């Protein structure tokens, strides 16, 4: 067992990172299974009996079993040949929730007349170092001229960019006498947000925080006029026609119920690094849920006041990567 483990680790070291992996004959390994070894022993016993009794019918049966084994070995390798693997867009998750990794599998060999039929049977896909209960083998059939999507789930334990282990593609098709497999390492842009803290009370000490005070707020219900543009405001609120007429850079204002605008400041919180990051994560989610406009201040970065999904992702990404080795 130790020898097999060392062989597996040596094969994994030969795998290099790539955006898209194509399985060819050089990257596919094949060995007999336990059932295959029993099958080989059975064939040898039958062949020995044929030699001992000089029986033509037993000779024919022994050679027939040998032929079946050879055809099975070839079919097992062919079942993995010319498959292309690529990761689709990976959505970030909050630690410690498992991340979903959409793996696209496409056969490169085209068969126009066999379009609705299966071209690769019972392909098993799993991470090479499978230590988590989520990292189980996923089985999929690949259809001709069609991309298949397989969702792999991987446990997350810390924030930052997730470094994924190599993936093992294997098959026992058609008879289970041989196992063919290949190891691939795909580049991924998997991001894990920090775990948000539980809800807590925090009053920002910087920025503006007024609600429903006058008609010149920054709500988004009804247009109410213009004001001088301030850095950090959405570009789509700029009155470009006035700027073209050299009347200065003006920003449209809207009347609305929500006029919260403030900074989420690292220095206003207490605790160690992870505790502050967890608190800021909670404040960002709450601010976005309430429709507030907010900015983020970290010791090494400042993100201007804004709102929306893109702004939220920008802030959460900054928290996820803060003081994390790349």
> How do residues 40-97 score in pLDDT, each as one tens digit?
999 999 999 999 999 999 999 999 999 999 999 999 999 999 999 999 999 999 999 9
Cis amide bond preceding 174, omega within 30 = yes
Q: What is the mean pLDDT of the chain?
A: 82
Residue intervals in the chain for CATH 2.60.40? 7-28+79-193
> In this predicted model, which residue has the larger pLDDT, 20 or 177?
177
Average pLDDT on 215-240 reads 60
Tell me the C-alpha to C-alpha distance, in Å, between residue 49 and each of 59, 64, 103.
9, 15, 50
Q: What is the predicted pLDDT for the residue at 211?
A: 40
* Residue 126 vs residues 22, 29, 36, 214, 292: alpha-carbon distances, Å: 16, 16, 23, 59, 42
Whose CA is closest to 208, among 136, 135, 259, 279?
259
What does the pLDDT read at residue 265?
A: 92
Per the model's pLDDT, the better-predicted residue between 254 and 174 turns out to be: 174
d(CA 79, CA 307): 50
Q: How confident is the model at residue 257 (pLDDT cuts 50, 70, 90)?
A: very low
Q: Which whole number is the average pLDDT over 26-51?
A: 95
Q: Using CA atoms, how far apart are residues 7 and 5, in angstroms rounded to an integer? A: 5
pLDDT of residue 223: 60
Q: Which CATH number among 2.40.10, 3.30.70, 2.40.360, 2.60.40 corresponds to the domain 7-28+79-193?
A: 2.60.40
């Amino acid at each position: 067992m130790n020898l097999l483990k060392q062989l597996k680790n040596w094969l994994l070291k030969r795998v290099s990172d790539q955006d898209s992996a194509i399985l060819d004959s050089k990257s596919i390994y094949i060995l007999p299974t336990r059932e295959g070894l029993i099958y080989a022993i059975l064939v040898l016993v039958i062949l020995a009996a044929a030699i001992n009794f000089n029986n033509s019918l037993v000779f024919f049966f022994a050679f027939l079993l040998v032929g079946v084994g050879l055809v099975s070995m070839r079919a097992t390798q062919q079942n993995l040949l010319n498959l292309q693997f690529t990761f689709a867009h990976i959505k970030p998750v909050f630690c410690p929730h498992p991340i979903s990794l959409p793996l696209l599998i496409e056969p490169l060999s085209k068969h126009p007349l066999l379009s609705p039929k299966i071209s690769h049977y019972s392909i098993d896909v799993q991470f090479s170092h499978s230590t988590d209960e989520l990292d189980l083998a996923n089985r999929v059939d690949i259809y001709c001229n069609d991309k298949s999507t397989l969702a792999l789930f991987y446990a997350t334990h810390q924030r930052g960019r997730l470094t994924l282990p190599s993936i093992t593609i294997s098959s026992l098709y058609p008879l289970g006498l041989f196992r063919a497999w290949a190891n691939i390492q795909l580049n991924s842009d998997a991001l894990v947000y920090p775990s948000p803290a539980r809800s807590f009370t925090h009053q920002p000490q910087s920025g503006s925080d007024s609600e429903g005070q006058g008609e010149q707020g920054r709500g988004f219900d009804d247009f109410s006029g213009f004001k001088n543009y301030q850095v950090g405001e959405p570009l789509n609120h700029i009155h470009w026609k006035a700027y073209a007429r050299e009347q200065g850079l003006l920003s449209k204002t809207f009347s609305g119920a929500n006029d919260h605008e403030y900074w989420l400041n690292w220095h206003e919180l207490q605790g160690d690094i992870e505790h502050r990051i967890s608190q800021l994560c909670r404040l960002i989610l709450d601010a976005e849920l309430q429709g507030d406009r907010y900015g983020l201040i970290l010791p090494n970065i400042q993100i201007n006041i804004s709102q929306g999904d893109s702004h939220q992702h920008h802030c959460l990404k900054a928290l996820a990567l803060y003081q994390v080795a790349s």
